[in-house]
Amino acid sequence: MRPPTARRRREHGVAVVVLALALCALAATSCVNGTGPVSSSSNTLVLYNAQHEQTTSAIVAAFTKKTGITVRVKNDDEDDITAQIEAEGSRSTADVVYTENSNWLQQLDDKGLLAAVDSSTLANVPVVDSATNGKWVGVSARVSALVYNTDDVSPSEVPTSVLDLADPRWKGKIELAPSETDFWPIIDSVARQKGTAAALAWLKGLRTNAGSNDNIPDNETLTSDVSKGVTDMALINSYYFYRLQAEVGAGSVHAKVAYFAPRDPGYVEDVSGAAIVKATKHQAAAQRFLAFLTSAAGQSVLAHSDSFEYPLHPGVAANAALTPLDQLQPVPFTPAQLGAGLEAHQLLIQAGLA
C-alpha cells in the first residue's frame, strides 16, 4: 500500500531550471527536468529521478562528459516515480531509478521490477548500504537529527532521546512532516527497540504535541519554520539544516542541529540509492551509470554539490561543513531492516498521521 503523495519542494524555481540546463549544455547532454514523457534512443538513458534535482543534474553532467552517454531525466516524487514504474511494468521507458530513500527501491524489488547490479559496482560502497540481493545500490547517507530554535530552546533543554518529544512539556512546540519518507526509518527504529505498541503510543504523543502542525509538507518547511521561530523544534535529516544555511547564509539561520544520545532509536542513518529497471533495453549503459554514481569520481561530484549528504564510497570525504560520519553514533539500523517501510506507514495510519 502506498502512502498519499508527499509533495516535496523539488526546487522548481527558474534559477534551478537555468542551472540544470546550463549543466546539461556544458556536458553536451540532453536533460528533461519535469514530469512529461521521455523517450530513449540507442545512446540515451532515461533516469526516473526522485533525488534533489540540482544534485542529480551535476552527476548527470559529469557522467555524460566522461562517457558521451546522454541521460534524459524525469523528475518527480518518490511515490509517484515508484507507482509509474509499477504501472508500466515490462513496458517501462525507465532505464535507471534514483531515490532519496531506499524503501521505494525495495518496494520495486519486491515486485520483481529491478535488475541485478554489477558486483563491481556493489563493491564500491559498504555492503550493508545496498540491497541484500544486489538489486539496488546505496549511493549516499543521511543522518536523522533534531533541529531546534536557539532563541527558544537552550542547549541544556534539548531532548537527548527521540522518545522525549512525546512528553507533554513539548505540546505546541514541535512540527511533524509524516508524509516525508525520511521519517519512516525513525518509526521503524523505535518499533524495533521498544516494540510496536510503544512506537504507536509515541506517534500518538507526537501528534498530540504537534496539534495543528502535524502535517507539514516537507523537511525544508520544518527546517525553515524552526529557524523563523514558528515552532521550537522538529525531526529532520541533518542535511536540510546545512542546505538552509547555504541558501540564506549561516548568520540568518536561528537554529542548530543536535543529535540524540548514541544509538538512540531516533538517531538513524538512512540511505539514498539507485537501481536498474528490469525492462531496460540499455543494460550496459545503465550499469555504467550506476558504476559512475558509486565511483570515487561520481561520489566526489555528490560531495561537492549542495546536497550535504554523505558519500558512501570509502575515501571520499563529505562536505567539510558536516560532522564526519565516522564520528557519529547512530543506532545500528540497516536498509534491509527498513525494507519497503510498510510497517512504519501502517503505524502512521493507526496514529492518525497518514
pLDDT in tens, the chain (354 residues): 333 334 443 333 333 333 333 444 444 334 444 444 444 556 899 999 999 898 899 999 999 999 999 999 999 999 999 999 999 999 999 999 999 999 999 999 999 999 999 999 999 999 999 999 999 999 999 999 999 999 999 999 999 999 999 999 999 999 999 999 999 999 999 999 999 999 999 999 999 999 999 999 999 999 999 999 999 999 999 999 999 999 999 999 999 999 999 999 999 999 999 999 999 999 999 999 999 999 999 999 999 988 899 999 999 999 999 999 999 999 999 999 999 999 999 999 999 999
| Among candidate residues 189, 123, 197, 199, the one with its CA nearest the CA of residue 330 | 189
Give every CB contact of residue 141 below 8 A, 6+ residues apart in sequence. Answer: 129, 269, 270, 271, 272, 309, 310, 312, 325
Sort residue 85 into left (φ over 0), alpha (ψ -120 to 50) or beta: alpha
CA distance 320 to 322: 5
Asked if 265 and 163 touch (Cβ cutoff 8 Å), the reply is yes
Backbone dihedral angles phi then psi of residue 311, each to the nearest 5 degrees: -65, 145
CA distance 75 to 48: 6
Residue 251 is predicted with a pLDDT of 97
Which triple of cell numbers denotes residue 208? 498530540
Q: State the amino acid at position 211 in one-letter form.
A: G
Place of cell 547512530: 330
Residue 41 is predicted with a pLDDT of 55
Which triple of cell numbers denotes residue 69? 552517454
* Helix residue spans in 8-101 (DSSP H): 14-26, 53-67, 78-88
The CA dihedral of 249, 252, 254, 256, to the nearest 10 degrees, is 10
* Residue 339 DSSP one-character state: T
| Among candidate residues 122, 77, 128, the one with its CA nearest the CA of residue 101 | 77
CA distance 164 to 259: 13
Which triple of cell numbers denotes residue 322? 558536516
Place of cell 563491481: 120
Residue 82 is predicted with a pLDDT of 97
Residue 29 is predicted with a pLDDT of 39
CA distance 86 to 298: 28
